[in-house]
Chains A and B, each alone.
Chain A
């Protein structure tokens, strides 16, 4: 992974945004370093898009402050807009324009001088492997190609900072992989990327991650740090009567998550207890036959689920008292 320099490109302090009664983002303090690929994770409606919109300067925060590429998000939005790229899962392209025409339009919008536009478009087409499709209408492209054009449009003005809101939603796995290669190339060239995603494999490809839940920041760190902080342990077992076995395991308070696929179970436990030992002990007591059992790597997904569950428990306790 590329070494991120210490310089901060995004910095927010106690950023909040309220929509009527709803607190969409609450007290968010974040810092993102130049050259990082920074992932924002969270369930739907957690406040990810609201956060991105505030950072882009198109939505004013209710309170708190933030700077992006050195400009204040509330007062210097226009300066920010010139220096960022923005892409959403909708791949907002003009379907009745060709690939090259789309890029040419955005180049003009971002003030690439007329004389340099052509060369700039050619360069971006080349980089995205789109040269052969420059004259194709954007509306006739498949999802993966549209995504490439959308990314190419978002980077046509070589912004130092790129916001990607669920950029890989609804795109096939091969395109997704190629997309990530492109993202890492951009980051290696010094572009900072902030993205939201629901795919956990993508989360692990980020340099650093943040978890947002109900508008609040739960954790920030590298994938390894986040996993380590949860102190989880995971095991994979093959067991007869897997459904019953899963129920037995789920009943234990130290078990965080039991995933159940056919005859195999994946168990994650928290707070220092060893998943494999615990499962072996509990299932033997219940006279289950374990045909196979091994320790498994704890993933970001385990950490994410664990964090959301813990937060739910917290809220229920808070609501009951």
Chain B
């Protein structure tokens, strides 16, 4: 490779070595984020505080409340005596769910009449609501079908089982642990954050200090400058990636089932795409501060739209289309397919194609803006 590229890369490393804070951040940040996201973000809802308004006070009504608690999703925190009290409990966050059992619940059941129990849920947190109602609904459904089966067997005298049974079998993440889902995705998020920010700031710093002008009058070609400057960051990107996988493995027992070599090779496309983007930002920013602001501004849609935290399938169509333009969206799928599902190159080729196309477009964009002439 060209000698000047190494001269620039060596200089960049020297500067990086002097900038202890940035260096520490690049190493510590992935670990801190990993612990933060891994422990704090937990989309599995458990132990929702629940109050019971039992107007029947029968063995059957107490049984219903107990079976609700037995699912692990609900935790009965008290009994209340009216809707007013339910309102107070929900407003003060003492409870998020209230079970209301009507009077005559047990006697109607005994007579084989249909009976309505009510589940009041706190809709200010839709995610909690969704899983709360789903669980309760399936619980109640199971209980009613059990009753039906029981009655049917009383009539016919024959013991029958459930007419249809659905046995869910979850592959790849059977315990449905959030960490398993989040940690591989975190590799993409952290690379996006640090790569875009570091490159855009590294170039903006040269512009701010006047050294860019000094380089422009020198025989350095634009390509040499760009490649030399981003080379050290590519290495840092790989170090970060390795750190996250290692820590994810040790702390959260996140599996890596597929071909790691394939993943590392594909990661180069992703890292390069982010670096090209950082370069593009640096051509727009006049100061390091502007470069930093742009990077943060860019990070937000990445976290929201890429499928890192919210399921891509649940997004409205325009958001889905927009997210196809983000390298992170495709890299996340690749990482999850390879690490969690044990996929190989054949399983991710479409995403790799997307990533390559985005990389090409970004390089074109960056080099069009990054002209060497000042005029």
On whether the beta carbons of B4 and A111 are closer than 8 Å, the reply is: yes
- A258 on interface, CB distance cutoff 8 Å: no
Instruction: Let me know if A246 is at the binding interface, CB within 8 A.
Output: no
- Interface code B349-375, partner A: CB below 8 Å = 1, 0 otherwise? 000000000000000000000001111
**Is the beta-carbon distance between B373 and A59 smaller than 8 angstroms?**
yes
- A110: chain B residues at CB < 8 Å are 218-219
Given contacts A96-B15, A108-B4, contact A82 B209 (CB under 8 A): no
Chain B contacts of A81 at CB under 8 A? 217-219
Q: Provide the residues of chain B in CB contact with A101, threshold 8 Å.
A: 11, 14
Q: Is B18 an interface residue (CB 8 A)?
A: yes
Question: Judging by beta carbons under 8 Å apart, are A88 and B210 in contact?
Answer: yes
Residues of the B chain whose Cβ atoms lie less than 8 Å from the Cβ of A58: 216-217, 372-375
**How distant is the Cα of A53 from the Cα of B213 in the complex, in angstroms?**
10
B4-52 CB contacts (< 8 Å) to partner A: 4, 6-8, 10-11, 14-15, 18-19
Query: Would you call A71 an interface residue if the criterion is a C-beta within 8 Å of the partner chain's C-beta atoms?
Result: no
* A2 interface contact, C-beta 8 A: no
B window 206-237: CB within 8 A of A: 209-211, 213-221
Q: Which residues of the partner chain B approach A163 to less than 8 Å between Cβ atoms?
A: 217
B217 A86 Cβ-Cβ under 8 A: yes
Q: How many A-B residue pairs have CB under 8 A?
A: 74
Q: Tell me the minimal C-beta distance from B216 to chain A in angstroms.
A: 5
By beta carbon, the residue of chain B nearest A96 is B18
Asked if A94 and B211 sit within 8 Å, CB to CB, the answer is: yes
Does A260 sit at the interface, judged by CB under 8 A? no
**A 27-54 binary contact with B (CB < 8 Å = 1; else 0):** 0000000000000000000000000010
Chain B residues bordering chain A, tally (CB within 8 A): 27
Give Cα distance in the complex from A82 to B219, angstroms: 5
Query: Is there contact, CB below 8 Å, between A59 and B375?
Result: yes
Question: Given the complex, which residues of A lie within 8 Å of B11, measured CB to CB?
Answer: 94, 97, 101, 105
Give how many A residues have a beta carbon under 8 Å from the other chain's beta carbons.
Answer: 29
Smallest Cβ-Cβ distance to B221: which chain A residue: A78
By a CB distance below 8 angstroms, the chain B residues around A97 are 11, 14-15, 18
Given contacts A60-B375, A108-B4, A111-B4, contact A86 B214 (CB under 8 A): yes
Is A109 within 8 A of B15, CB to CB? no
* Contact of B70 with A by CB under 8 A: no
Q: Does B110 contact A (CB under 8 A)?
A: no
Proximity bits, A223-257, B CB within 8 Å = 1, else 0: 00000000000000000000000000000000000
Report Cα–Cα, A120/B214, bound state, in Å.
Answer: 20
Asked if A105 contacts B373 (CB within 8 A), the reply is no
B contact residues around A96 at 8 Å (CB): 15, 18-19
Contact B3 A92 (CB under 8 A): no
For A90, A91, A96, A110, which residue has the most chain B Cβ atoms within 10 angstroms? A96
| A16: min CB distance to chain B, Å | 13
Bitwise, A118-144 to B at CB < 8 A (1) or not (0) is 000000000000000000000000000
Chain B 149-165 interface mask (CB, 8 Å, partner A; 1/0): 00000000000000000
Mark contacts of A88-115 with chain B using CB atoms, 8 A cut-off: 1 yes-contact digit, 0 otherwise.
1011111111000100011011110010
CB pair B15–A94 under 8 Å, yes or no, is yes
User: B215 to chain A: which residues have CB within 8 Å?
Assistant: 109
Chain B proximity of A107: nearest CB distance (Å): 9
B217 touches A84 (CB 8 A): yes
Q: B213 touching A92 by the CB < 8 A rule? A: yes
Verify if A56 is at the interface (C-beta below 8 Å from B).
Answer: yes
Residues of A within 8 A of B18 (CB): 96-97
- Shortest C-beta distance, B94 to chain A (Å), equals 56
Q: Least Cβ distance of A162 to chain B in Å?
A: 12
Measured CB to CB, the closest approach of chain A to B12, in angstroms, equals 10
Q: Please, which residues of chain B bring their CB within 8 A of the CB of A88?
A: 210, 213-214
Q: Closest B-chain residue to A57, C-beta based?
A: B217
The CA-CA distance from A86 to B214 in the complex, in Å, is 7
**Chain A residues near B7 (CB-CB < 8 A):** 105, 108-109
Interface string of A51-86 (1 = CB under 8 A from B): 001001011100000000000000000100110101
Q: Are B4 and A90 in contact (CB under 8 A)?
A: no
Task: Using known A-B contacts A59-B373, A60-B375, A109-B4, determine if residue A92 contacts B14 with beta carbons closer than 8 Å.
Answer: no
Determine the distance from Cα of A6 to Cα of B7 in the docked complex, in whole angstroms.
38
A88 to B217, CA, bound (A): 11
- What is A's interface to B at a CB cutoff of 8 Å? 53, 56, 58-60, 78, 81-82, 84, 86, 88, 90-97, 101, 105-106, 108-111, 114, 153, 163
29 CB < 8 A contacts A-B: A53-B374, A58-B216, A58-B373, A59-B373, A60-B373, A60-B375, A78-B219, A81-B219, A82-B219, A88-B213, A88-B214, A90-B210, A93-B211, A94-B11, A96-B18, A97-B11, A97-B14, A97-B15, A97-B18, A101-B11, A101-B14, A106-B218, A108-B3, A108-B6, A108-B7, A109-B4, A109-B219, A109-B220, A153-B214
Footprint of A on B, CB under 8 Å?
3-4, 6-8, 10-11, 14-15, 18-19, 209-211, 213-221, 372-375
18 more contacts with CB within 8 A, not counting A90-B210, A111-B4, are A53-B374, A58-B217, A58-B373, A59-B373, A59-B375, A60-B375, A78-B219, A82-B219, A86-B217, A90-B213, A96-B15, A97-B14, A97-B15, A101-B14, A108-B3, A109-B219, A109-B220, A111-B3
Pairs of residues from A and B, 4 with the lowest C-beta to C-beta distance, nearest first: A108-B7, A90-B210, A92-B210, A92-B214
